Structure 1
Amino acid sequence: MKLKIHLLLFIALPLLSFTAHKYYLSLTQINYKSEAKAVQIIINVFMDDIELALNKDFDIDLQLTTKRELKNNDVYFEKYLKDKLALKVDGKEKNFNYLGKEYDGDLVFFYLEIENINKVNSIDVSNKILIEHFPKQQNLIKSKVGKKNKSVLLTKDESSTLLEY
């Protein structure tokens, strides 16, 4: 069943990125890279949704992918993500580094990293991205530590989970 959900999301998310969407879904991929001793995180969200959320939360006008796009928009993205996403590795709260973002069609990809992680037995994730503005928002979490994969779908009513490896 989980494989079917992942396959559907893998196919549906890119297709939905080229049309007006009525689905509110983000994907957060969390991978532990032992050789880098780091937890690497990629988040993708619909551009119009994140733009609306940040414009309302910070009283700004981002105008993403236009000539009038704010030059310092990474400041707002980083602040928003640090407010809406919290991670604990093996029970210890960890701050992530915001590495940047990339636009692809109607999606924004955010790149984050937690450094100096020697081993991972569990990751506690709290993901409230876009939930305040879109009550039907769902945030899919996919993770990989070693050869173990875990996935969970978070919602407004259940916005955190503990992933054990």
Structure 2
Amino acid sequence: MKKTLILFLILPLLSFGVHKYYISLTEIAYKEKTKSVQMIMNVFMDDIETAINKDYKVNLQLTTKDELKKTDSLFFNYLNNHFKVKINSKKVNYRFIGKEYDGDIVYFYLEIENVLNPKSIEIENDVLVKYFPEQQNLVKVSLKEERKSLFLDKKNDKGLLKF
């Protein structure tokens, strides 16, 4: 009887396959006091590792003792190629401040300095789309008292927010 009961309880759980979500979140905030735009992007570690390994023909081995010493520069190069920002219709460069691993997520910390009176932010984000066509990149922007969002994917990887 116990075996039958366990079978009836477990069988429905096994009928559902594991679904992998492909999503990143980038939070962007303008800091009036420092005149800077601060960005935090989070992506799934295994996905970014796959993309960089394939694009740069390396083996990052993230979070292991054999992690490549040049991981930060590879991350920065990858982001520069796949995440672009324009403020007030002008392309701007950002600094790679660093990264942080948290479970299966990598957080990237980026900053744009000397930003005066931003009225629009344009984002181009095709991070991970090449290898994961279902990838969706959510961007949330806080500027002064306003909050706006963009939902970008393979078909639509650019968006403009006006404040």
| TM-score, normalised via structure 1 length | 0.87
The separation in 2 between residues aligned to 1:85 and 1:21, in whole angstroms, is 26
- Identify the residue that residue 75 of structure 1 maps to in structure 2: 73
- 1:93 to partner: Cα distance: 0.6
- Identify the residue that residue 101 of structure 1 maps to in structure 2: 99
Amino acid at match of 1:125: I
- Where has structure 1 moved over 4 Å in runs of 4 or more? none
Gaps of 5+ in 2: 1-17
Amino acid at match of 2:114: N
What are the superposed Cα offsets for residues 10-29 of structure 1, whole Å, 9 maximum, x if unpaired? Answer: xxxxxxxxxx7600000011
What are the superposed Cα offsets for residues 26-77 of structure 1, whole Å, 9 maximum, x if unpaired? Answer: 0011100010100101000000000000000000000100111111100100
Larger radius of gyration: 2
Q: Alignment partner for residue 127 of structure 1, among 122, 125, 128?
A: 125
- Identify the residue that residue 90 of structure 2 maps to in structure 1: 92
- Identify the residue that residue 5 of structure 1 maps to in structure 2: none
What are the superposed Cα offsets for residues 101-152 of structure 1, whole Å, 9 maximum, x if unpaired? Answer: 0000100000000000011100000001000010000000000000100012
The separation in 2 between residues aligned to 1:92 and 1:21, in whole angstroms, is 39
State how many pairs are aligned: 146
Gaps of 5+ in 1: 1-19
Amino acid at match of 1:159: D
Amino acid at match of 1:135: P
Q: Alignment partner for residue 47 of structure 2, among 42, 46, 49?
A: 49
The separation in 2 between residues aligned to 1:124 and 1:152, in whole angstroms, is 10
From the superposition, tell whether residues 40 and 21 of structure 1 become closer, same or farther in structure 2 (CA, over 3 Å). farther
The separation in 2 between residues aligned to 1:21 and 1:85, in whole angstroms, is 26
Amino acid at match of 2:107: F
The separation in 2 between residues aligned to 1:120 and 1:22, in whole angstroms, is 37
The separation in 2 between residues aligned to 1:37 and 1:114, in whole angstroms, is 9
- Identify the residue that residue 8 of structure 1 maps to in structure 2: none
Amino acid at match of 2:66: R
The separation in 2 between residues aligned to 1:155 and 1:38, in whole angstroms, is 27
Identity %: 51
